[in-house]
Structure 1
Amino acid sequence: MPVRHTTVYDSPLGEMLLASDGQALTGLWFEGQRHAAAGLSPDATPRDDLPVFEAARSWLRSYFSGEKNVEPPALRLEGTPFQGCVWDALREVPYGSTVTYGELAARVGRRLGRATSARAVGSAVGRNPVSVIVGCHRVLGARGELTGYAGGLWRKRALLALERDGVVAREATERPAALVAALADVWERSVRATHDFLLPGEVERLRAVVPDALEGVPRLLVAEEAGTPVGFLGADGDFVEMLFVDPGWRGRGVGRVLMSRATEALGAREVSVNEQNPQAVGFYEHLGFSAYRRTPVDDDGRPYPLLYMRLA
């Protein structure tokens, strides 16, 4: 086996390990992904300057910026003949499209000239060594549900949202003033569209403290379209402190993308929500949260009852 080389790419969805035999990309895995680094030589050495790594980084930058149909770097996928057939079929699923495991199995069966089970195809999909470029995230369950992604379902949901709407969610480790101001604007638009129960002057009063809250929350996830924030989530430990989506993006899966990452990657399990905002209550209930406590006033003692909800 030839000596392999590796490098790391810091994507909006977490670090990715890249592997190469010196000529082609042989592996691309998210941090914590099942089967990560499978088949990688034990004497693999870091080498950032390989041309194929630069080509892969360029492709990833373009992809996570929402660009479509960018020519991928050279690939060399190592697996069984059956796995190779499945991976070839995956590469033919267009950007922004999806396919069920059953449909993919039928395509593979036609290639092989024999019937192939969705279970066998699913196993090969799970062993795909080059995530994202070979689009295993585009494979869905029989009813269109998200199932079985080695990098985590929250990443699968995020990748599909990126390809569908151009929205990418990232963690904001740095919070420059321009970002904080843009997120405060999202907050105000969201509140004015959904919090019609607030007394006169309350939006202005609350807006004044939003920047400090954004700067102080330990974990901040930001959803952006073409670099413009369309939603954000703040979490402190296992508690979701804030979740707001621009009204123009409500109902398009932005909140679900942020909450999936918060619950699956950050360990969030609890949230508080205004009882007078039934749409928000219903959203959390749909995600599996249920109320375990009610207070007649909010944290500032204002007449806005809160429901404390916990993920079942």
Structure 2
Amino acid sequence: MTRSISERQRILEALDMLLNAWSTRNSNELRQLFTSDAAFTSSAHGEALGGAGVAEQLIDATLQRANLRLNSTNHYVTGHDAKACASAYIYGQFVPPRGGPSSLTFGATVVLELELLEGEWRISTLRLNVNWLEGDAKIVTGWRQPIGNREWKIGDPVPVVVSELDSPWLQFPQRSIVGTVKEQIAEVYARYAWGLDLADFGHLKQCYMDDAAGNFAPIGILKGLRSIVSHLKEFRRPWPWMQHFGVPLRIEADEENGTATMTVGRVIPQRAAKVDGEPLYGAHYVMKLRRVDDQWKLTWSEYNPGWITFPDGQR
């Protein structure tokens, strides 16, 4: 039997509270989100134990010189009974206290493990890997900064989120915490991006039907699982720091026939909204899916570069 789908939303609310407490420098709220023996590992901040330790690491002096805005995309939630795991991409913007353009933008991958204690979800493990920075890096002089746009070499730091070890898809083979049909479809994109960006092509393989096809700009039309996976594996090699932030804009599911279509907007963190605040997307995907053995998989994937807005979008 599956637990109420509201559990998924409660877990995502814990993630939202984490980001809000971090961005507003609320130490008390941060401490309350964690178990007493929680473990925190960050590529930028180092390691800490317990809520107080996490708060001390996240709320450093750099945040006093700029306001921090945080957003999350690419959500996946899984779990069984009183334990759960969630992953997301987050992007942050440090802006001057008086407003104006962002002084520094960064992107990260986050994985949370949670426990249900006295009716509340508490974070027992938090892994945060900052993948890239763009802008005035002096704002975060206290961070261990990513290597930037170059190849890794001996002596460089290694990531603290490694898909083969930390992937939430591997944590709970028998999951009882699931979302709605539309949320399950949206999670296919999250897994697609995770597999591509974290170079775990076993995950990417699980997203596609054997007879899938697609238009993968700038590569072109690809047909068949082998062609898709092998091309994308080679294509991403020069950009190991890349993140495909995506927001599902429209999902239409035919549950009776087990088919669906999904439009996903690709978020470019450096330009995620228009001046008036309307969301802006640097490209969009059109995806078609089929349900097989209770798993949604892609039959067609189309990538369309170009800036768009989507006023009628739905999460």
Normalising by structure 1, what TM-score? 0.27
Structure with larger Rg = 1
Where relative contact order (Cα < 8 A, 6+ residues apart) is larger, the structure is 2
Higher strand share: 2
Normalising by structure 2, what TM-score? 0.26
Higher helix share: 1
